[in-house]
Structure 1
Amino acid sequence: MILLFAGCVGNSQEQSSEVPTLKVAYLPTDHHSSLFVAAKEGDLFKEKYGVYLKEVEAKKKYELYENDKKVADVELVQVVEGGAKLMTLIAQGQIDIGLNGVPPAVFSIDQGNKAKIISALQGEGSAVVIRNDIPAETWPEFVKWIKEQYSNGKQVKIGHPLPVSIQYVMIKKALEAEGITYTENSKDKSAMVLLVNCKGQKSMPQMLSQKELDAVIAWEPMPEVLKTKGIGKPIVYSKDLPPAGMWEDHPCCVVVASENALESKEAAVKSLLKLMVLSTKEINENNELAIKASSEWLGTDKEVEEYSIPNIKFYTNPEPLKKGTHVFVNVMNAQKSTTGQLKGVEDPNKIDEILFNFSIYDQIVKELGQ
């Protein structure tokens, strides 16, 4: 959107010199390392590719350049409440682009949010973590322990970040595959497991250490934070959760853009997405970039990120994203979670039409010769 000074007519040259402001939201996770690396390594991207961010205020305000031309002002917003909140901000017009999990994006678009997924961001990168005092080291051993607890009249409590998170979807499917019953009603003692909404991940260390929870399913770097602090132990990473093979290479986070931004700020969106694609390339060639940037950005110990980053697959290719999202939509439909335009939709082409717009990504790949 072209910004005009109120009360001033101005000449056309002055008006054309204005650039749009892109408001970009992200979550406090190293899944979004490509953004952190892009923001912190401006000189690297300027020298190698000619598209880069120039810092104005650390972690908050940047200028986006391509081919020595300023194309946008960029404002970064960290959303600690989770992906559902981020999608609400997009729906309200407060955010143009969001880095977010697939399920919150799917749920929100299903309900009519005028937004599209425009690129993959990364896959995998979650784990089930149990308290250190629980006598289990693997997922099968934990499943056995859950059943033993139930036979002794005890209900196991497993925390998840949010009801509209990939972690929530995965833990439900994993428990179902093992024949473990679950409930989300704390008064229902008939189920083996009580699933607890932690409303984000910030409370997980305290809830585990105080034995309010027996386990959590969480995205990185929380599993490694719990591990290095001696609070819990990761027993299975998301790619290995049952049903067997369902979650291998599963997509996790994506880039979402409002339809308004795609129409009115297309050039700026394209430059920023190009930078994200190139940042992903740099991370895959040198993991240390993501380890350093994430540690500094999130305030996590470098040791945590050294454990965490290798568990995350960084990619922007939409093909695995489409395949995995079709699985998510099918699971959500089976669980009667979709109630809007995706309700009952099984045709992959129709799902793609509702959720995706890869036109800008395709242009970028063609330009970069990838």
Structure 2
Amino acid sequence: MQKNQKFYIVVFYLTHVVKGGDTIKKYVILLSSILIAGVLFSGCMQNETKTETPTLKVAYLPTDHHAALFVAAKEGNLFKDKYGIYMKEIEPKKKYELYENGKKVADVELVQVVEGGAKIMTLMAQNQIDIGLNGVPPAVFAIDKGTKAKIISALQGEGSAVVIRKDIPANNWEEFINWIKEQHANGKQVKIGYPLPISIQYVMIKKALEAEGITYTEDPNNKEAMVLLINCKGQKSMPQMLSQKELDAVIAWEPTPEVLKTEGIGKPIVYSKDLPPKGMWKDHPCCVIAASEDALNNKRDAVKAFLKLIVLATKEINENKELVIKDSAEWLGVDEKVEEESIPNMKFDTNPEPLKEGTYLFVDVMNKQGAMDGKLKGVSNKSEIDNILFDFSIYNEIMKELNE
């Protein structure tokens, strides 16, 4: 039986059974009404308390491309004292409370995904996460195929490299291309690994090989092509595959290139900004922040506070390299020397405007390859692409508040 039902029974009993005159009855009715009102009001307050603080589920990859998140999570006191917005750690790397101006805005649950950005967007499509930090291609492909999400901010650009086995006699991209040609002349096929088919690294290595006139295939039965491209299904297997000579080279995002270098497994020969075609990948977008439309509609204030913290964390990163090196090394469990080599290869910037041109280029390349089969199929109009992929309204509000 519910509490309110019990109170009504008490009232009925006191007013209809208890004797003692109308005056007593009036007092009983008044007292009972006050008690009932208190219970009802208390129930409403409890319901409000339960729903007023939303939970933001945020997915990210184990890469220093997402260093802004690591810094924001680890440097709560810094952001509290300096900006009045911060995350309070409840469980390291997993649970946090997000505060702004002394008020709790949201509970934040961090979800590390090792499989890649495509997995993050799948989780978003399944309503298991609200925000995803991942590459442009996974976000674009997912939205093309119907995932109800928008890219709400840039996060980071550049930050990938081609790494070859340490025993290969080449020290730069040009020498590596010549080595590939020599191997082909001797009847040998060069094997290059890439993280995932839905990744900017996959697109870049294909375009770079095409620019050099190097033929490639993904079919292991095709022995005529000069290069066999191999899907490594993430980057975890790359060190072992290189060291055991299952691969001759990989294209990977940081900090894997520097890990391979530090561990003596491979040597980076070209960073993504310098890959051919010449000038095509300079300042290229890499990682972005995507949010589900449900979160944008129903958790907007929480999303805004989280994005503001990331914007401020990015500012701190660009002003204090020692801080981001330390926090990234601790979060990822790598030596600080790795991050000292890795961080300078990236550009941390949340401004979404430069992101647009690189995204238009990616959509165009994917359409030419027949990879787009949904909302973006055959779409070349920039305004239409903007409407499908982007929502920068929250970011623009934040910039006005920060006077930037």
TM-score normalised by the chain length of structure 2? 0.89
1:155 is matched with which residue?
Answer: 189
Alignment partner of 1:327 out of 341, 361, 365: 361
Q: Which residue of 1 aligns with 2:168?
A: 134
Q: Which residue does the alignment assign to 1:14?
A: 46
Percent identity for Structure 1 against Structure 2:
75
Partner of 1:37: 71
Q: Which has the higher contact order (CA 8 A, sep 6+)?
A: 1
Q: Secondary structure at the match of 1:289?
A: helix
Equivalent position SS for 1:120: strand
- Give the aligned partner of residue 250 of structure 2: 216
Task: Give deviations 1:306-346, integer Å, cap 9, x for gaps.
Answer: 00001010000011101111111111111111111111111
* AA of the residue aligned to 2:148: K
Write the mapping of 1:1-370 to structure 2, written as runs, cut at 5 A.
11-17=43-49, 18-370=52-404
Instruction: Report the secondary structure of 1:159's partner residue.
Output: strand
Distance 2:68 2:363 in 1: 26
1:15: how far off? 3.2
Q: How many residues align?
A: 363
Which ranges in structure 2 are unaligned for 5 or more consecutive residues? Answer: 1-38
AA aligned to 1:214 is D
Within 2, Cα distance between the matches of 1:71 and 1:143?
Answer: 53
Q: CA separation in 1, counterparts of 2:178 and 2:378? A: 35
What is the Cα-based RMSD across aligned positions, in Å?
Answer: 1.0
Separation (CA, whole Å) in 1 of partners of 2:369 and 2:272: 20
User: Which residue identity lines up with residue 14 of structure 1 in the other structure?
Assistant: Q
Give the aligned residue type for 1:228: T
1:139 shift after superposition? 0.4
Q: Distance in 1 between matches of 2:47 and 2:78?
A: 31
- SS of the aligned residue for 1:104 comes to helix
Question: How far is 1:287 from its partner?
Answer: 1.0
| Offset at residue 95 of structure 1 (A) | 0.4
**CA–CA separation in structure 1 for the residues paired with 2:242 and 2:388:** 39
Distance 1:13 1:366 in 2: 34
SS at match of 1:117: strand
Deviations 1:71-106 (A, max 9, x none): 100000000011111100000000000000000111
Residue 14 (structure 1) shift: 3.2
Q: Distance in 2 between matches of 1:16 and 1:303?
A: 49
Q: Which has the larger radius of gyration?
A: 2
| Structure whose residues are more often helix by fraction | 2
Q: Offset of 1:190 from its aligned partner?
A: 1.0
Q: Distance in 1 between matches of 2:65 and 2:323?
A: 13
Q: Which runs of 4+ in 1 moved over 4 A?
A: none
Q: In the alignment, residue 106 of structure 1 is paired with which amino acid?
A: V
For 1:335 and 1:56, how far apart are their aligned partners in 2? 46
Return the alpha-carbon distance in structure 2 between the equivalents of residues 11 and 325 of structure 1.
50
In structure 1, C-alpha distance between the alignment counterparts of 2:261 and 2:170, rounded to whole Å = 15
Q: State the alpha-carbon separation in 2 of the partners of residues 289 and 90 from structure 1.
A: 31
Equivalent-residue separation in structure 1 for 2:179 and 2:380 (angstroms): 37
Question: SS in structure 2 opposite 1:332?
Answer: helix
Matched residue SS, 1:72 = strand
Supply the distance in 2 between the matched residues of 1:97 and 1:15 (Cα, whole angstroms): 26
- The Cα of 1:11 is off from its aligned counterpart by 3.8
**Counterpart AA for 1:35:** L
Cα distance in 2 for residues equivalent to 1:265 and 1:299: 32
Measured against aligned partners, the alpha-carbon deviations of 1:278-309 in whole angstroms (never above 9, x if no partner) come to: 00000000011111111000101110000000
Q: Runs of 5+ in structure 1 lacking a partner?
A: 1-7
The 3-state SS of whatever aligns with 2:366 is helix
Question: 1:230: Cα distance to partner?
Answer: 0.4
C-alpha separation in 2, matches of 1:23 and 1:212: 38
Report deviation, 1:13. 3.4
Aligned counterpart, 1:3: none
Q: TM-score, normalised by structure 1?
A: 0.97
1:205-227 Cα deviation digits (max 9, x unpaired) = 00000000000000000000000
